[in-house]
Amino acid sequence: MNSKLYMRLLCIAVAVDSAVYGYDTAVVSGTVEAVRTHFHLTPLEVGSIVSSALLGCVAGVLLVGRLTDWFGRRKMFMLSALVFLISALWCYAAGSFTELVCARILGGIGVGFASILVPIYIAEISPPGSRGALVSLHQFGIVTGMNLAYVANAWIGRGGDEVWLADQGWRVMLGACGIPALIFLILTPFIPESPRWLIKRGRDSAALNTLRRLHGESAALAEAQEIRETVRQEQGKIRDLFRPGVRIVIFMAMTLALFQAITGINVTLYYAPSIFASVGVGTASALIQQAIVGSALIFGTISSFFVVDWLGRRPIMLMAISTMGLSLALMGLFFSTSGGGGWGLLACTLLYVYAFNFGMGGIYWVMISEVFPTKTRGAAASLSAMFLWGGNYVVLLFFPIMLEALKGHVFYVYAFVCVLCFAFMWYFVPETKGKTLEKIEHELYGVDGRKKTVPTGAGEGLITP
């Protein structure tokens, strides 16, 4: 098989884990009202159900960094698939509010695993010229899984009335996540170990064989030598994440992760049926409208896929966050009007979701797969993603209360956060397109591990020591 075709098929296979991640995180959105009725929940308990998976995500990213660096990417892919499968079956059988929360936390651990494993693995096997697009397959997998969840929820929801949904329908929705999880588990034996991890472990021969299959003979030899030189210069200790040259990049990645979480995307995705229902749209219609929102997820990601290695990471994120802020402000305006804004609210929601996935959604994963040192990439990415999922947990836990208290004004809060995010990106986020991981590492950290000044040019973003 042609090496380029093999590499792309491998990236697509790995992105199936991202699709399971997307399905698991989004499927709960269609069950909110049914679960509320079944267990007679308060607004805070509803927030606990929705956000419980995000709590698991925090635990997952804390575990996966070191586990991935110790045991390798392939074994952790298998564990991720098993965790998703067990969680789905447990959700289907849950007999109480507490059981359901625990099952969702377990699924969240799988999400935490996938959120780190997939972008790191794809970045480590991809050539510089197409790495941005290939890592974007992670986001494409996520939104494809989300869209499948929305469509499945709408289809299941049409199969019965609201009484059936409150009794059994929500179980079918949550349990269906086991299907994509099983598919990915079947694929995992065909995924080779990351050549960068193999070289870190002294398994140069196995790494070279994998590189030959991915990039061809001549390119494999050159890349293997470049990886060896980079690995020799690193000690790979946790304390290295906080040395002067690294901690400013850690700060940038953690803050970017936090902004991705608190600019409102998960509120829009997870609570869309509740939002539409609150402005007078019926439950079945709200589920169908959420499936329409899912199409904006895919189109935004596809648009980014084609331009990320041409326009660059930073310009795309700046354009996207500006559009997100404007959309959120208009959502607040429409939500506050008589009748809830109707299709105007839906149009703004679609624009917001499109902009997020065009910029913040996929580019964040591209950047965290690029900017950390090879030997500590798993642990560093975990630390950054912990802020992402921690922020998501807080947002989802308290949004039902905020929506009840502030109504449409809650969207103005998120619009203001977008303004803060734009300012942060302008001053702190560098450009990384078209460079090998080793070159990015050399520019950011220098050969001796000390922070170097990144050549940026006017208006391309600065990280200062």
Measured CA to CA in angstroms, residue 347 lies from 142, 287, 352, 354, 384 at distances of: 22, 16, 9, 11, 32
Least confident of 169-183, 341-355, 368-382: 368-382
> Sorting pLDDT into bands at 50, 70 and 90, what band is 181?
very high
**Which amino acid, one-letter code, is at 208?**
L
Other beta carbons less than 10 A from residue 205's beta carbon = 9
State the Cα–Cα distance between residues 282 and 347, nearest whole angstrom.
Answer: 18
State the Cα–Cα distance between residues 185 and 388, nearest whole angstrom.
Answer: 26
Q: Closest Cα partner for 88 from 27, 30, 163, 31?
A: 27
The answer, yes or no, to whether residue 395 has pLDDT greater than 90, is: no
For 156, the 3-state DSSP assignment is: helix
| Model confidence pLDDT, tens digit, residues 240-252 | 666 666 677 777 8
> Sorting pLDDT into bands at 50, 70 and 90, what band is 259?
confident
- The C-alpha angle with vertex 181 and arms to 179 and 186, in degrees rounded to 5, equals 100
Domain ranges of the chain: 3-191+234-445
In this prediction, residue 104 carries a pLDDT of 93
Measured CA to CA in angstroms, residue 391 lies from 43, 272, 407 at distances of: 19, 19, 21
- Summary mean pLDDT of the chain: 79
The answer, yes or no, to whether residue 280 has pLDDT greater than 90, is: no
- The C-alpha angle with vertex 363 and arms to 358 and 366, in degrees rounded to 5, equals 145
Is the pTM value of this prediction over 0.85?
no
State the Cα–Cα distance between residues 243 and 240, nearest whole angstrom.
Answer: 5
| Model confidence pLDDT, tens digit, residues 187-218 | 999 999 988 888 888 888 888 888 888 887 77
Instruction: Name the DSSP letter for residue 169.
Output: I
Does the structural domain 3-191+234-445 have CATH classification 1.20.1250.20? yes
| Model confidence pLDDT, tens digit, residues 429-451 | 777 776 666 676 666 665 444 44
283-286 contacts, C-beta under 8 A, 24 or more apart: 283/33, 283/157, 283/162, 283/165, 284/154, 284/157, 284/158
Tell me what the mean pLDDT of segment 164-189 comes to: 92
More reliable by pLDDT, 369 or 31: 31
The percent of residues above 90 in pLDDT, for the chain, comes to 20
Tell me what the mean pLDDT of segment 151-156 comes to: 84
> Sorting pLDDT into bands at 50, 70 and 90, what band is 373?
low
